[in-house]
Every structure is written in structure tokens, then in C-alpha cells.
């Protein structure tokens, strides 16, 4: 098939970009390294399915009235996002968060694309940037070395890098429910889960007393860790995915005010809050797999089994997947990309997803969506109009392509700090600020969608 656009990378950004182009009648060649004859995979991937979720199974908050990522969900749904369609079909109970069965999620996306007449999926590795033809590079933060070198040669600048860590997953049947108990996460989000047919008690809680917590922290610090290669030694961690043992190094109580916060969780055996709590979130539809929330780690596999079995309720835990650590790379996008995500030195090439320096599943997919519709506008000969900066899409795009300081550019989740401030004569109560931001975004999104014809 002769194609209009070549998309390199079958992750969340690449598949979303492909969908946006194919549904508008353009021929797409989607190249994905995994599943090819050579059997290649990145260090973090477990399978060959498109849009594999390699870290958490959560797309984070689905609250579009008080949360920036929930607002991004809303905006993507208004633009017929494939990622959001698949998430709806693969959803599992997680309170007010949008969590999915990762296998169902990937399968829904792959089926939608491979059954589309305008798309050809090629299981192939691309080693160099195409010299001509509209191209979207969405290879993510684990771009193959050969292509990364080609990108480096084209940009004339070294990519930045940071470490990203993966949380372990355990089998439900191996959790001791005589010790652990079910509840909402910090007693929040029960209403959202009940509306989805759940009982609202979507998290498994493993309690610790002070002595257990202190002993556990000591073993986190003492456990044998992954050894970095020399070239990795000065690569920083990203705060949004900090390894559990690195958090433990920051102070005795850091974990108790972070992923092990016990607030609002009454242990049914005592009627009181534990000193600390480890929480697990359902990872698949059947409820057989549960991931340990916030427990990204660089501990070696044998150490993970030893140390994490110190957690009350997980003393006999069987692991479906251990945690891990991988090196992510991304472009200095404010310097290298124009306002339409095009490489300034080679404008036939767009970049999308985490390689641009956005962080998170939903953010990655949303930048893929933007790259797809930008390319569609270019093919149609229409002028591109940026989404309003008051929207989540507009705020994220502005951050990537110019608002951020190039010298200190780092991966960023969507957050209200990226939005233009609310200007009003009346002081807005702190409790109302997020609602004001989301309401303004929705009001500004509607006319933009109408003017551009990009709405559902």
C-alpha cells in the first residue's frame, strides 16, 4: 500500500496518531519493532502487543472537574481518541482512577487498527530517520539505539535522559487476606467505583506497625540494587516514577507521607489507622493480578522477593512480574521542535509521545493525537490552529514547544501549573480553583473543536 504518512512506533502515541489519520481517510504505514522476525524488544516490554502498558495499569484520575489528567481524558474523548475508547472497554475497578486490564487494552487497540482499511502494520525495525515523506516518530523513551543515533545526528544535540522504574505485580491468591483488607484508596473514589458496578473497595491494604515499617525501610536501603553502567551513572530519576528505595533514602518518614500513607484507612482488626500501609491495585479484569502501588524499584529480583515478603499480608506473595528499571531518553523539544511538533531542521518529521518530554501514558497518547491531527491538517492543506492554552491539550503542547526553559527542560505530567492563571477581580477560594480551571477549559475547547472540525 502506498502510504501518506509513515509512523514509527506502536506505543500509545503512535497508535493514537495512526488512528486519527486513518479515520480521516489517510493511508498510514505503522512500523513496530516488536513482533518482527528478529524477536526484538526494549528492556521494559513484556510482549508484542501494540500500546503495551509497561509500568502501571492506571491512566490516573478520571475526574474531569478537579484533576488535570482527568480533564485531558475529557478533551481526548471529545476528539474520538482510540486510547480512551480502549480504556473504556478494558476498565477495571480503581476508585476514581481509570485503570485497565493491560492485555484487553492492548488487544482492543490492535484490533481497531489492524481491521482498518487505511492502515498497514509492519513488524519491522527502522534504523534511520526517513529522508523524505511525512513521518511521525513515536518510538517513546526506549528508542532503539540505531534510530536514537540517527535522531541525534539529525538534531545536532544530545538527548536528555532519566531513569524510569516499574512496580511489581503479585497474584491475588497469594495475598493473605486474613491480614490485608479491601478499601478505597485513602477512602476516596468509592462513589466512582460503585457507579461502575464495584463495591467501592478497590484497593488491598497491607498494614504495618512502627517496628515492621522501620525494619522494612532498613532492608529497602540495604537490599542489593541494579548496577548502573558507567554511561548511566549521572542520569537523574524522574520524580513522578521514583524507585521506592530512593524515596526511603530521603528520610525515615518519606514513605509514610507518600505511597505508604495510612490516612483514612481503618484496619478492621484494630479499628485504627496503621503506622503505614502498602496498597495494591487490581491489574486485570479477572482480578487475579495486583500491582503494588508506588513500588517502582531497582532492587534485584531475588531481593524484591525477600524484601517485599516482609510486608504483612505478602509474606507468601507470588510475583507475576518483578519490578525493574530502564533508561528513558527524550528530546530537548523547546529547542528542536516547532509549534507543530516538527523537527526544525527536517520539517517533514514530527515527534510525538514521551520522546518529546511529556510524561505519562495519557500525556503521551494526547501528544500522539495532536501529531496525528496536525499531519491530517497539513495533508488537507488547511492551516493549523493551536488548541487554547487554557485547555489541557493546549497547555501541554505549549510546554513542549516553547513555554518551558530549554536549559532545564524535564519530563512533565499535565498539571494546572502549566495552565495560564485565572484572571478575575474576585478572589477564588482554594477549594474552587480546580473546578474553575476545568470549567474554563471546557468552555474554551468547544469553540475550538467547532472551528477546526476536530470534534467527534
Binding site per annotation, positions for FAD: 9-14
Q: Measured between alpha carbons, how far is residue 314 from residues 17, 112, 165, 178, 255 in Å?
A: 41, 38, 21, 11, 18
Phi, psi of 77 (to 5 degrees): -65, -35
| Annotated binding residues | 9-14
Rounded to whole angstroms, the Cα distance separating 275 from 259 reads 13
Q: Which contacts qualify for 437-441: CB closer than 8 Å, 24 or more apart? A: 437/68, 437/71, 438/64, 438/65, 438/66, 438/67, 438/70, 438/71, 438/74, 439/65, 440/390, 441/71, 441/75, 441/388, 441/390, 441/391, 441/392
**123 three-state secondary structure:** strand
Rounded to whole angstroms, the Cα distance separating 30 from 5 reads 9
Distance of CA 26 to the CA centre of its chain: 27
Collect all residues with Cβ–Cβ distance below 8 Å to 153 and sequence separation of at least 6. none
Q: Specify the DSSP element, H or E, that contains 393.
A: helix 392-398
Q: Measured between alpha carbons, how far is residue 370 from residues 76, 98, 391, 397, 418 in Å?
A: 10, 21, 13, 8, 17
Rounded to whole angstroms, the Cα distance separating 172 from 159 reads 40
Rounded to whole angstroms, the Cα distance separating 9 from 232 reads 24
Q: Where are the alpha helices (DSSP H) in 281-387?
A: 301-308, 333-336, 361-380
Amino acid at each position: 500500500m502506498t502510504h501518506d504518512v509513515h509512523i514509527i512506533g506502536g506505543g500509545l502515541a503512535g497508535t493514537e496518531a495512526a488512528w486519527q489519520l486513518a479515520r480521516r481517510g489517510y493511508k498510514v504505514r505503522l512500523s513496530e519493532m516488536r513482533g518482527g522476525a528478529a524477536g526484538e524488544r526494549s528492556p521494559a516490554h513484556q510482549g508484542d502487543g501494540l500500546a503495551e502498558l509497561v509500568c502501571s495499569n492506571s491512566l490516573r484520575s478520571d475526574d474531569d472537574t478537579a484533576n488535570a489528567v482527568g480533564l485531558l481524558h475529557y478533551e481526548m474523548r471529545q476528539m474520538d481518541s482510540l486510547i480512551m475508547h480502549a480504556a473504556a472497554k478494558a476498565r477495571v475497578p480503581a476508585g476514581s482512577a481509570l485503570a485497565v486490564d493491560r492485555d484487553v487494552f492492548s488487544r482492543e487497540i490492535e484490533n481497531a487498527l489492524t481491521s482498518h482499511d487505511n492502515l498497514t502494520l509492519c513488524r519491522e525495525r527502522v534504523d534511520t530517520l526517513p529522508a523524505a515523506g511525512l513521518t511521525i516518530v513515536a518510538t517513546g523513551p526506549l528508542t532503539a539505539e540505531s534510530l536514537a543515533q540517527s535522531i541525534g545526528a539529525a538534531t545536532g544535540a544530545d538527548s536528555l535522559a532519566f531513569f524510569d522504574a516499574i512496580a511489581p505485580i503479585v497474584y491475588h491468591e497469594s495475598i493473605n487476606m486474613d491480614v490485608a483488607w479491601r478499601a478505597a484508596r485513602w477512602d476516596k473514589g468509592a462513589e466512582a467505583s460503585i457507579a461502575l458496578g464495584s463495591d467501592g473497595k478497590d484497593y488491598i491494604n497491607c498494614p504495618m506497625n512502627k517496628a515492621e515499617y522501620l525494619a522494612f525501610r532498613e532492608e529497602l536501603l540495604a537490599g542489593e540494587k541494579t548496577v548502573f553502567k558507567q554511561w548511566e551513572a549521572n542520569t537523574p530519576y524522574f520524580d513522578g516514577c521514583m524507585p521506592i528505595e530512593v524515596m526511603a533514602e530521603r528520610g525515615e518518614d518519606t514513605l509514610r507521607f507518600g505511597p505508604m500513607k495510612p490516612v483514612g484507612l481503618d484496619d478492621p482488626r484494630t479499628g485504627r489507622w496503621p503506622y503505614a500501609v502498602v496498597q495494591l491495585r487490581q491489574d486485570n479484569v479477572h482480578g487475579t493480578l495486583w500491582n503494588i502501588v508506588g513500588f517502582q524499584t531497582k532492587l534485584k529480583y531475588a531481593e524484591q522477593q525477600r524484601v517485599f515478603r516482609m510486608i504483612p499480608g505478602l509474606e507468601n506473595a507470588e510475583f507475576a512480574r518483578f519490578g525493574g528499571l530502564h533508561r528513558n531518553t527524550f528530546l530537548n523539544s523547546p529547542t528542536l521542535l516547532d509549534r507543530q511538533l516538527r523537527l526544525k531542521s527536517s520539517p517533514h518529521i514530527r515527534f510525538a509521545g514521551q520522546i518529546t518530554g511529556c510524561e505519562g501514558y495519557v500525556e503521551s497518547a494526547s501528544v500522539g493525537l495532536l501529531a496525528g491531527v496536525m499531519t491530517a491538517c497539513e495533508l488537507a492543506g488547511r492551516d493549523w490552529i493551536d488548541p487554547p492554552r487554557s485547555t489541557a491539550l493546549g497547555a501541554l503542547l505549549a510546554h513542549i514547544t516553547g513555554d518551558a526553559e530549554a536549559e532545564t527542560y524535564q519530563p512533565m505530567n499535565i498539571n494546572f501549573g502549566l495552565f495560564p492563571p485565572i484572571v478575575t477581580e474576585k478572589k477564588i477560594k482554594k477549594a474552587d480553583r480546580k473546578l474553575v480551571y476545568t470549567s474554563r477549559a471546557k468552555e474554551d475547547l468547544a469553540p475550538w473543536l467547532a472551528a477546526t472540525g476536530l470534534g467527534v
